[in-house]
Amino acid sequence: MSTEVYWFSGTGNSLHAARRIAEGLGDSELVPIAGSVGGVEALPERLGLVFPVYAWGPPSIVADFIEEMPAGSPEYVFAVATCGASAGSAMSITRRLLKKRGISLDAELTVKMVGNYPPMGGAPGPEKAGKRLEEAEKDLDAVVGRLKDGFRGRQGGTNPFFRVLGRVVYPLFRKHVSDSAGRFAADDRCTSCGICVRLCPVSNIELGEDGRPVWGDRCQQCYACFHWCPEEAVQYGRKTADQNRYHHPGVSQDDMLEQGGGA
């Protein structure tokens, strides 16, 4: 069965999950969602979507991707969401978006990995993150096993409170996802290395005349720029200087560049 696993990721959790799934299923192509919006011509027999949970829903770019997908009827469609705490309504929103394209979502799975959202405290320290990732590997084993067996249904129940919150907050998140340019800044530790420019999956960053990054109006709030800066120079608002920076230890900068990104 031809399989394509479409993925989006800011700090590597979802890329790691997508790779584990593609390896487990075998004969699967990994395709970055960034750069593929509106560009898919035909759907495979088995279609997978792997993405982080943002504001208890799918990232805006993932929703855009689904809305631009061609018509088709894959034999098996699965979605796997990685999250820091609760997936909320990520799966029900994804299911509804797919349904509007005439595609039914067969398997809905979520994996708790490591949170990375700076406005809500950011990522935990390395020890706590490491412990969580050990647990997440076991959860990923189970996810891969289920997908290999052609599981149909929903795995990983979510708290009803967060599902309701998602329904209210997510539309606002999506509407304002790109309004954050003014909140990003690079501090004096910036060496003008350009890594943030290259890693932004939507080419939203340029280096200005002073060599410091300038953020544009296409942000998807993935926080790759924040977490991957080798100097920890990228700040979001005024309270992030002391926050932990995080990326999945099994994912490198080069791996993230597969997502397209800046020049």
Ligand X SMILES: Cc1cc2nc3c(=O)[nH]c(=O)nc-3n(C[C@H](O)[C@H](O)[C@H](O)COP(=O)(O)O)c2cc1C
Residue ranges in contact with ligand X by CB under 6 A: 9-14, 52-56, 82-86, 88, 113-117, 221-223, 248
What whole-number distance in Å separates Cα of residue 165 and Cα of residue 56? 8
Q: What angle do CA 36, 39, 43 make, to 5 degrees?
A: 95
Q: Quick one: 68 or 210, whose CB is closer to ligand SF4? A: 210
- Applying CB under 6 A, among 30, 43, 114, 195 the residue interacting with ligand SF4 is 195
Is the separation of the CB atoms in 11 and 59 below 8 Å? no
Binding flag, residue 63, ligand SF4 (CB under 6 A): no
Specify the stretch interacting with ligand SF4 by CB under 6 A; choose among 36-44, 81-89, 136-144, 230-238.
230-238
User: Of these partners, ligand SF4, ligand X, none, which one is at the site of residue 54 (CB under 5 to 8 Å by kind)?
Assistant: ligand X
What whole-number distance in Å separates Cα of residue 21 and Cα of residue 120? 29
Q: Which amino acid is at 109?
A: L
User: Of these partners, ligand SF4, ligand X, none, which one is at the site of residue 194 (CB under 5 to 8 Å by kind)?
Assistant: ligand SF4
Q: Which amino acid is at 238?
A: R
What whole-number distance in Å separates Cα of residue 86 and Cα of residue 159? 7
User: Of these partners, ligand SF4, ligand X, none, which one is at the site of residue 115 (CB under 5 to 8 Å by kind)?
Assistant: ligand X
Q: Quick one: 46 or 227, whose CB is closer to ligand SF4? A: 227
Binding flag, residue 252, ligand SF4 (CB under 6 A): no
All residues at 6 or more sequence positions from 39 whose CB lies less than 8 Å from its CB, including other chains: none
Is the separation of the CB atoms in 32 and 258 below 8 Å? yes
Q: Quick one: 105 or 177, whose CB is closer to ligand X? A: 177
Binding flag, residue 15, ligand SF4 (CB under 6 A): no
